[in-house]
Structures are given as structure tokens and as C-alpha cells.
Amino acid sequence: MPLFPSILVSCEDKNDNGSSVFPQGIGSGDPKPNGIVLWTRVNPEIFDNHQITVEISEDSSFRDILISKTEYINLQENFTVKSYITSSKLNPWQKYYYRFRYKNHLSSIGMFKTLPEKNQEIEKVRFGVLNCQDYSVGNFYAHRYLAQEDLDFVLFLGDYIYEYSFDKEADKVLRKLNLPSGNEIASALEDYYYLYNTYKSDMYLQELHRKFPFLVVWDDHEYANDCYGYNAPDHFIKDEEYLKNLRTAASKAWFYSMPVDVQVESFDKIKIYREFCFGDLMKIILTDERSYRSSHPCGERKFQRYLSQGCGEEKSPDRTMLGEEQLNWFFYQLSSNEQRWTVWANPVAFMKLKLDNRYISFDSWDGYQYERDLILQKIKQIQLKNLFILTGDLHSFVGGFAQLDEENIVPEFITTSATSSNLDEIVPIDVDLLESLVSLENEHIKYFNSSTNGYTIVEMTKDYTDIIFKSVDIQNADKGIKIKRNFRLYLNNTKFIEY
Ligand SMILES: [Fe+2]
């Protein structure tokens, strides 16, 4: 059912509902107590005017328009529109409605909730966690069900796009893409824009963006597999200068395609790490684990990155994941925390992950162990309590701990992929065997499931936080949504309860 009856639209207005005029839908993100970023893209085929208007109202009828702002379409940037709204007319922790107006066309109506004031007393926050949405291998049913939840926002932990036309290692390819360059891997700015346009044409992804503001960080596939800085070890292009320009193009396409408010000095120096405070209840810290990291510790060939026994370099103090500046900022964020709970939105696995006495991946924190210990020591030193980590990348649900020693542990919850191939499709081993071997060999892991897709719900209160893993069948929506595990963390207790 439409959100508002068409009778409320003036005679000349056409409610496009996000199809022909706004083919990628609309979205909001990076809320502030009195601000929000709003996003859309105008169909180049109907474009004949640079100006577009964004309207915000307290109710879905738009009888009283609170804010009306004229924006300009970024013609050179894929006809995208980013509107940075800051206004004293917006109240903290309040829900608003917004829409775009292009000539006499109206977009569908989106919703967002502003952040509370930093010291505001907040009883409860509820959000969804999503990552790894490979369009080529599965339907966005996780998005469909997540859009039906009651949420304050969606946290996206990376791999919003995959840089290729389809996943060659997947058991099933559902939607094969054709990159404008004709290559199988993105190799130009237009390839990245094509990927964002195609992914965002999905109605379930559009619905999720329409309903909730997003907090987004990138991981590797927004540029290239296992990237670090400008380097892309699996790319067919090896030329350093070309890769540097490609990385810059990928960052630019991400920036103009996402409702994010991040600092851009230039597109090769885009600073995406940032934090959000949800009143007195929660601080969420988002880190960039691709831009500043060192190379992989024992070499860049696949057998050196995955299932490696190690070479000693993985423990070297010379190696960094966050880079000096981000690490200092991160320590400051941990130390200056005035909120009850701290959440670290961390794209790649922080806990140790071994299989057959080998490191599963040196692309995760296992390749950067010295810095991992530094962080755990810092947490111990400042006696930070009520911190937990939310992670993506592994295409598996994992509930476990990162630990410095027996006493000092930090709970970590890894969300499986929305669609991307599970580990059993990447590691040539039976999934049941894989799951039991990982659980046996990693005592700090309490739950490991790499045979499903889905999302996580985090429901936070003053006294406890529930972390709920929910799974979907990406081939069959009728199977619905299933709760796989529910973990509960009580305040001042790092050991979670599972039920
Ligand atoms: Fe991924």
C-alpha cells in the first residue's frame, strides 16, 4: 500500500515512487542531532534541469513542509545528488519523512531518525547489521526481511558492491553483470558507477535504504579483493600508477553513491573513519581497514594469504592495520567514552581464526597481530567495560571472543554475508566438517555457522544487549526468516549468554 494516498499530491505532481525518474531509489545516512545526509540519483534519460529539491516533513502527508532545499545534480558524478541537511528545525532523536522533487516528479517517501544529543538519556537502540551483498549470486532477501524490522538505523560493514561481473567460485550465479569496460573486473570509474547503479536497482535494497538511515564503512570489494592502500593483489592490472588512479576512482564512486558525510581532502585521501553517539547509551566507532594497512605479512600470493602457517612477519611491530593517525584517534575514542556501551564497527575479523593449525586468512587481524595486542592492552589499561565488536567479511556467523589473556576478553559477533558465497564455497571442504573443525580448534569461538546468509539485529538497553543472528534462504523467500542464535550481554559482564 502506498504510504500516502495520491489525492494528497497536487494535480501536476507525479508520484514516481522511485522507478523511472529515480531508478536507484533514495537513501539517508550519517544522522546528527540536527542533521542528515540525503541521497538520490536522477535518471540521465529524463535529465534537462540541474536543480532538484529535497523536502522534509514531520509526517508522511507532507501537509507541512519543515525544510525545503534546492540542490544541484552532480552531472559528472553519475547524476547523483547528495544533500547535507543541518537545521535547527530538526530535533534530536525524532523520526522525519523526506522526498525529492525533480520538476513535477516526486520520489517515494523516505524516513530517517536523527541522533540523540550526546548526553540525552536513551532507553533503547535497535539496529540491523549487514555486509557482503554480492548481487551476482543471490537475491536480496536479507534486505527484504531487514526492511520489515523496527530499526533506528542499519550498520553496513563493507562489500556493498563486488568489483567483478560475477563470482566465479560460487555454486550458483543468479545475475551476471556486464561491466562497461568489457572486463570481468572493474577497471575504470564507469565500471564502479555501473556496479552501484545495478546493485541499487534492486527493489529490496532500495526499500531498506528508504526506511532507515545507514552508517556505512567500506571493505575491500568496493575497490578490489584483499586491497591495501592502492594495491590490489588479485587485479589483472599490475601497473602501480593505474592502480592508484583506479583506487581513487573507486573511492569517488563510493562517496557519490553513499549517503555518507566524510572528509574528502581529495579522493585519494578520503577519511571515512568516524563515530556516532546515541545519547548516553551507545557510542559506535567505525574504522577503515583498507586505506592505511600494511601489505599481507607473508607475501601476496593466494597460498601466502589464506591457510598460511605464518612466517613470523604476522607478529612484526612494523605492521599496521589502522595506520598511526587512525590508531591514535581510535584510542582517543575508546578512552573518551561517556556512553554506557561501546560498539566497534570493524570490517574484518579481530579474533584469532585457525584451521588445521593454519591461519584462515592473513587479510584479517591475524596478519596484524602486534597492533591487535596493542588494542587489547589499551582496553585493559583504560579498563573499558561494555565494549563489543561487530564484524563482517567472513561470510559466516560467528559468536566468540578476542582475548589478551584469560581475564581480558572482548566479545566479537561476526555477521554472515547478505548473499556472498559462504566459506564452504571458497574452502574445498564439507561445511559440517569445516564448522566443527573451526569450533574445535578455536576455543574462544562459541558459535560458528558458514552455511547460511542473513543479518544481525542488535537490541540494546541500559542493562543488557541482545545480538540476534537471523538467516534467510537467498534462493527462496518463502522460507522466511529464522533466528539462528541469540546472545545476551549483561552490563559489566563480558561473557555472553547464548540461547
Ligand atoms: Fe565479502
Which whole-number Å values give the CA distances from 129 to 157, 240, 392, 433, 470, in the listed order? 7, 35, 9, 27, 10
389 domain-assigned: yes
Q: Check pLDDT > 80 for residue 15.
A: no
Distance from Cα 347 to the centre of ligand 1, integer Å: 10
Distance from Cα 7 to the centre of ligand 1, integer Å: 44
Distance from Cα 129 to the centre of ligand 1, integer Å: 14
Q: Are residues 109 and 128 in the same domain?
A: no
Which of 61, 88, 113 is the last residue in one of the domains?
Answer: 113
State the chain's mean pLDDT as an integer. Answer: 94
Q: What is the pLDDT of residues 443-455, one digit of tens each?
A: 999 999 999 999 9
Q: Are 157 and 415 in contact (CB under 8 A)?
A: yes
Distance from Cα 189 to the centre of ligand 1, integer Å: 21
Q: Are residues 73 and 205 in the same domain?
A: no
191 domain-assigned: yes
Distance from Cα 104 to the centre of ligand 1, integer Å: 40
Distance from Cα 2 to the centre of ligand 1, integer Å: 34
Q: Are residues 97 and 158 in the same domain?
A: no
> What's the distance, CA 423 to chain centroid?
19
Q: Are residues 68 and 145 in the same domain?
A: no
Distance from Cα 227 to the centre of ligand 1, integer Å: 12
341 domain-assigned: yes
Count of other CB atoms within 10 angstroms of residue 374: 16
Q: How does residue 3 score in pLDDT terms, banded at 50, 70 and 90? A: very low
Distance from Cα 225 to the centre of ligand 1, integer Å: 9
State what percent of residues in the chain have pLDDT above 90: 87
Residue at grid coordinates 550465479: 173
Cell, residue 498: 547464548
Q: Are 305 and 234 in contact (CB under 8 A)?
A: no
Distance from Cα 446 to the centre of ligand 1, integer Å: 22
pLDDT at 499: 81
Provide the pairing of β-strand 409-414 with 358-361: unpaired
Cell, residue 493: 559482564
Instruction: Return the CATH number at 184.
Output: 3.60.21.70
pLDDT at 17: 55
Dihedral angle computed from the Cα positions of residues 23, 25, 30 and 33, in that order, rounded to the nearest 10 degrees: 140
Distance from Cα 348 to the centre of ligand 1, integer Å: 9
Dihedral angle computed from the Cα positions of residues 141, 143, 145 and 146, in that order, rounded to the nearest 10 degrees: 160
Distance from Cα 159 to the centre of ligand 1, integer Å: 5
Q: What is the pLDDT of residues 216-255, one digit of tens each?
A: 999 999 999 999 999 999 999 999 999 999 999 999 999 9
Q: Are residues 258 and 395 in the same domain?
A: yes
Q: Are residues 86 and 142 in the same domain?
A: no
Instruction: Return the CATH number at 75.
Output: 2.60.40.380
Which of 80, 113, 146 is the last residue in one of the domains?
Answer: 113
Q: Are 357 and 441 in contact (CB under 8 A)?
A: yes
pLDDT at 14: 57
Q: What is the pLDDT of residues 149-206, one digit of tens each?
A: 999 999 999 999 999 999 988 878 899 999 999 999 999 999 999 999 999 999 999 9
Sequence-distant (≥ 6) Cβ neighbours of residue 3 within 8 angstroms? 60, 108, 109
Distance from Cα 218 to the centre of ligand 1, integer Å: 10
Distance from Cα 178 to the centre of ligand 1, integer Å: 20
Q: Which pTM does this prediction carry?
A: 0.96
Phi and psi at residue 51, in whole multiples of 5°? Answer: -90, 145
Q: Are 361 and 350 in contact (CB under 8 A)?
A: no
452 domain-assigned: yes
Distance from Cα 423 to the centre of ligand 1, integer Å: 10
Domain count, the chain: 2
Distance from Cα 417 to the centre of ligand 1, integer Å: 7
Distance from Cα 99 to the centre of ligand 1, integer Å: 32
195 domain-assigned: yes
Q: Are residues 140 and 94 in the same domain?
A: no
118 domain-assigned: no
Distance from Cα 394 to the centre of ligand 1, integer Å: 7
Q: Are residues 97 and 128 in the same domain?
A: no
Q: Are residues 192 and 78 in the same domain?
A: no
Which of 47, 81, 113 is the last residue in one of the domains?
Answer: 113
The domain in which residue 453 lies consists of 124-498
Distance from Cα 134 to the centre of ligand 1, integer Å: 8
Q: Are residues 257 and 289 in the same domain?
A: yes
Distance from Cα 145 to the centre of ligand 1, integer Å: 20
Distance from Cα 136 to the centre of ligand 1, integer Å: 13
* Residue range 345-356: mean pLDDT, rounded: 96
Q: Are residues 315 and 433 in the same domain?
A: yes
pLDDT at 244: 97
pLDDT at 224: 98
* Residue range 52-67: mean pLDDT, rounded: 97
Distance from Cα 10 to the centre of ligand 1, integer Å: 45
Q: Cα–Cα distance between 423 and 70 in angstroms, integer?
A: 47
Distance from Cα 440 to the centre of ligand 1, integer Å: 24
Distance from Cα 32 to the centre of ligand 1, integer Å: 29
1 domain-assigned: no
Cell, residue 271: 577519511
Q: Check pLDDT > 90 for residue 18.
A: no
pLDDT at 494: 86
Q: What is the pLDDT of residues 77-124, one digit of tens each?
A: 999 999 999 999 999 999 999 999 999 999 999 999 999 999 999 999
Which whole-number Å values give the CA distances from 198 to 42, 48, 176, 192, 388, in the listed order? 14, 23, 11, 10, 34
Q: Check pLDDT > 60 for residue 6.
A: no
* Residue range 42-54: mean pLDDT, rounded: 96
pLDDT at 315: 98
Distance from Cα 31 to the centre of ligand 1, integer Å: 26
Q: Are residues 390 and 455 in the same domain?
A: yes
Q: Check pLDDT > 60 for residue 5.
A: no
Q: Cα–Cα distance between 332 and 338 in angstroms, integer?
A: 12
119 domain-assigned: no
